[in-house]
Structure 1
Amino acid sequence: MGGELNAFTTKEKICFHASVLDVHFHKASDLLVDISFHSTFPEKELEKEKKVILEEISMYLDSADDAIQDDFESLIFPNHPMGKNLLGTTETIHSFSSQHFFDFIERNVATNRIVFSSVGTMDADMAMEIVRKKLEAIPKKETRLHRNAVFNLKPTRSTVEKPIQQAHFMMGNLAPSIHHRDKYSLMLLNNILGGPASNSLLYLALREKYGYVYSLESNYNAFTDIGIVQIYFATEKRQIQKCLSVIEKEMCKVDKLMTKKGKLEAYKEQIKGQLAMSEENNQAYALMMARSLLDLGLVEDIETIFKEVECTTAEKLIDLRQQYFNPSNMTSLAFVPN
């Protein structure tokens, strides 16, 4: 068929996805349905896949910028499922048998929690009919799962020595969930501070002005019942405190910058452009629709999101900055060369 067939796991979801020509839609949807509902997990294949996952774990442990993400989440979500490493551990990987997967499917896979999403040139009604015929034989099953809430985070500071050349640093805080009314305002604030554009405040200061870092990013990830904001950078060990001083200064600068005429409007236009461009990618758009349906029960159209962004005030951004991007109450983790 050509194209691509792949899968990934996040903290809350499992996704199987395919990108193919329309002429292969039948076969691709057959494969996705078969994987989702009729996997057999033969022990021989399972043993081979265990070796692959163990190699993946080793690869991540060798990559400090990946490893710090997982270790940081265990700090900010202590003793909670959200703090567990998605890849597992060497011990858990070795312990798995086929029955573990069948039990997991029995507990978690239900028809009320599965979405089939498709984007392309094929007529939507035709695609729907094809998929409906493949899914109508699947027995209906509903589950309602509950996860213990995350709250009362006490900021912690941790430093770990590793056999690396650069120091890697991550700091963050708990933040609003995907259902919170402030999520789009916080998304805008994160974009201003350290989003993907090269004119973000932290990028301009840490990389362009002082040359302290090469790699820098800021993220806001909203889950169904909690969210997290993070700032990550890599630098020389001796420059960590310099970077932190610059970050604190730039965060405070937001409070004054938002009151300058035209600044907030320019940042709003920038993020609107980024959101519009993201919808040009069919695969990303299909995944966005699926997530939105699962989490919110609807697909938020881009004009609605634009309106939420437009309604964000300078006062709101200042309040969110002081609440979530205040260095004094953020958890931090540093990997430093030993």
Structure 2
Amino acid sequence: MNDELIWRSELPNGLKILLLPNRLPVAHVTLYLNVGSRDEAPSENGIAHFIEHTLFKGTTHRKSFHVLNRLESVGGDLNAYTSKEETCLYAAVMQPYIGRAVELFADVIFNSVFPENELEKEKQVITDEIDSYRDNPSEQIMDDFEEHLYSGHPIGRNILGTKSTVRKFNRKDVITFIQRHYHPSRMLLAVSGNLSLAKVELLAQRYFTDAPFPAAEFSRPAFSNYIPFEKVIKKSHYQNHCVIGNLAYDMKHPRRTPLALLNNYLGGSAMTSRLNLVVREKHGYTYNIESGYQAYTDTGLFWVYFGTENGLHQKTLEVIEHELSRLRERPLGPLQLLQAKRQFQGQIAIAAESNANRLMAYGKQWLHAGFIESLVNTLDLIENVKQDDMIEAALEITNPMAMSTLIFEARQRGKPTK
């Protein structure tokens, strides 16, 4: 397999530029900002996400409708998201409109006006979004688990914020946060398109050179003092919901790939994952069960989630612990390890068929980790995982003494109607 072309550059103001050549009719443009919810002060909790919502409410050059219509009028798609560590704007357009997307991104980042009436409306939208997560226990328990795991640290706070903090935001708060964080030295422009790196550089120089805010000092306090916990919260649900987990490797750690492989084998998306086969197919204890591994810049999170009826959650936990102990104590056989590798490699390769997926993955890696693992690099890293690597990761990350547990326990209530 030949490695792909990945072009990189950086402007004098620190803006990173990434180009993946793409001759298909559709191009993709992504702008990453190295700022997320972990960069907020306690009183600002939720403001990074709030700003992402309100960037499209009008600029000094365009009204809100014209912002939205700028790409939609040529069949393009515009969207954005906020995470713990980044804000991302992304668009899909036909190849001739790449420059239009780049210009629009610069306009909303540097020239948004944030009308007070629009801010007030968006507060209601986001408080409704918060309620929608509260109505979904499988979503809420993950947010609550991270909050307890990273107790007292910004990375544990909910990305959406709270109703209390969101309702207090005003235009001054928004502008202050933007001036502190929205500088090209904290940005990465990524393009998948049929144009040269020189052309992308020209577009970036044209629209991102004259940033209205000076660069500010930027640092993130590392999390420390993890204390494992066990917590049960009564909820008016029909099911018990449970998360068990621990701190895990950051995105630069040498054992991140063995842990990712272990996680996929244990509770990944395939129906043949160990947890699905044993907990669901063999015992019938649960409908939903999965494991996950989230790597951040300086920490990480490993978890197992399941939902089950009130009387079965302890039995389910016992089966999960048995599977974790097997991973700690018994290396996978040569054939098992080979099959686990082929499955994980295939899933990653299929996902990488999407130019958008690949562009966003590479952009995020370069933004946060300072390197890019191409598809070939990633497949090679998986191929080189040894049995001992898996055992070491399992021993360290699934150590029972270090695992935390959060349970949403269902209160007694009437049976649901059929």
Measure the CA separation in 2 of the matches of 1:326 and 1:11: 26
Match of 1:265 among 327, 333, 338: 338
* Alignment deviations for residues 305-335 of structure 1 (CA, whole Å, 9 cap, x no partner): 2222222211121121121123342111111
Which residue of 1 is the match for residue 154 of structure 2?
Answer: 81
2:240·2:410 contact (CA, 8 Å) conserved in 1?
yes
Q: Which amino acid aligns with 2:168?
A: S
Structure 1 residue 256 displacement after superposition: 5.8
Which of the pair is proportionally richer in helix? 1
Mean Cα displacement is larger for which, 312-321 or 22-31? 22-31
Q: Does residue 58 of the first structure (1) align with residue 169 of the second (2)?
A: no
Structure 1 residue 243 displacement after superposition: 0.5
Q: Which amino acid aligns with 2:409?
A: V
Match of 1:110 among 183, 188, 198: 183
Mark the runs of 5 or more structure 1 residues left unpaired by the alignment.
none
Which residue of 1 is the match for residue 415 of structure 2?
Answer: none
Measure the CA separation in 1 of the matches of 2:217 and 2:386: 37
Measure the CA separation in 2 of the matches of 1:13 and 1:210: 40
Question: May I ask how many residue pairs the two structures share in their alignment?
Answer: 338
Q: Partner of 2:188: helix, strand, or coil?
A: coil
Which residue of 2 is the match for residue 67 of structure 1?
Answer: 140
Structure 1 residue 198 displacement after superposition: 1.4
* Alignment deviations for residues 35-55 of structure 1 (CA, whole Å, 9 cap, x no partner): 222111110110010010011
Q: How does 1:243-254 map to 2 (within 5 A)?
A: 243-254=316-327
Q: Does residue 223 of the first structure (1) align with residue 223 of the second (2)?
A: no
* Alignment deviations for residues 254-282 of structure 1 (CA, whole Å, 9 cap, x no partner): 24653423211221121111111121122
Q: Partner of 1:115: helix, strand, or coil?
A: strand
Mark the runs of 5 or more structure 2 residues left unpaired by the alignment.
1-73, 412-418
Which residue of 2 is the match for residue 119 of structure 1?
Answer: 192
1:111·1:141 contact (CA, 8 Å) conserved in 2?
no
2:110·2:212 contact (CA, 8 Å) conserved in 1?
no
Q: Partner of 1:159: helix, strand, or coil?
A: strand
Which residue of 2 is the match for residue 284 of structure 1?
Answer: 357
Q: Which amino acid aligns with 1:246?
A: V
Q: Which amino acid aligns with 2:143?
A: D
Structure 1 residue 131 displacement after superposition: 3.5
Structure 1 residue 151 displacement after superposition: 2.3
1:119·1:285 contact (CA, 8 Å) conserved in 2?
no
Measure the CA separation in 1 of the matches of 2:334 and 2:370: 38
The CA RMSD measured in Å over matched residues stands at 1.7
Q: How does 1:34-49 map to 2 (within 5 A)?
A: 34-49=107-122
Mean Cα displacement is larger for which, 84-93 or 30-39? 30-39
How does the TM-score come out when normalised to structure 1?
0.95
Q: Which amino acid aligns with 1:59?
A: S
Which residue of 1 is the match for residue 308 of structure 2?
Answer: 235
Match of 1:311 among 384, 387, 401: 384
Which residue of 2 is the match for residue 9 of structure 1?
Answer: 82
Which residue of 1 is the match for residue 229 of structure 2?
Answer: 156
How does the TM-score come out when normalised to structure 2?
0.77
Q: Partner of 2:333: helix, strand, or coil?
A: coil
Structure 1 residue 139 displacement after superposition: 5.6
Mean Cα displacement is larger for which, 35-44 or 118-127? 118-127
Which residue of 1 is the match for residue 92 of structure 2?
Answer: 19
Which residue of 1 is the match for residue 278 of structure 2?
Answer: 205
Structure 1 residue 125 displacement after superposition: 4.3
Q: Which amino acid aligns with 1:283?
A: A
Which residue of 2 is the match for residue 100 of structure 1?
Answer: 173
Measure the CA separation in 2 of the matches of 1:167 and 1:265: 36
Measure the CA separation in 2 of the matches of 1:227 and 1:97: 33
Q: Which amino acid aligns with 1:277?
A: I
Structure 1 residue 110 displacement after superposition: 2.0
Q: Which amino acid aligns with 2:331?
A: M
Mean Cα displacement is larger for which, 147-156 or 312-321? 147-156
2:362·2:374 contact (CA, 8 Å) conserved in 1?
no
* Alignment deviations for residues 64-99 of structure 1 (CA, whole Å, 9 cap, x no partner): 111111111111000110111111111101110011
Structure 1 residue 298 displacement after superposition: 2.8
Which residue of 1 is the match for residue 348 of structure 2?
Answer: 275
* Alignment deviations for residues 110-145 of structure 1 (CA, whole Å, 9 cap, x no partner): 211100111234555434433332223336843442
Q: Partner of 1:218: helix, strand, or coil?
A: strand
Structure 1 residue 159 displacement after superposition: 0.7
C-alpha distance 259-48 of structure 1, shift in aligned 2 (>3 A): closer
Measure the CA separation in 2 of the matches of 1:295 and 1:17: 18
Q: Which amino acid aligns with 1:302?
A: L
Which residue of 1 is the match for residue 257 of structure 2?
Answer: 184
* Alignment deviations for residues 205-242 of structure 1 (CA, whole Å, 9 cap, x no partner): 11111111111111111111101101111111110011
Structure 1 residue 184 displacement after superposition: 1.0
Measure the CA separation in 1 of the matches of 2:148 and 2:328: 28
Structure 1 residue 23 displacement after superposition: 2.6
1:112·1:143 contact (CA, 8 Å) conserved in 2?
no
Measure the CA separation in 1 of the matches of 2:287 and 2:349: 28
1:167·1:336 contact (CA, 8 Å) conserved in 2?
yes
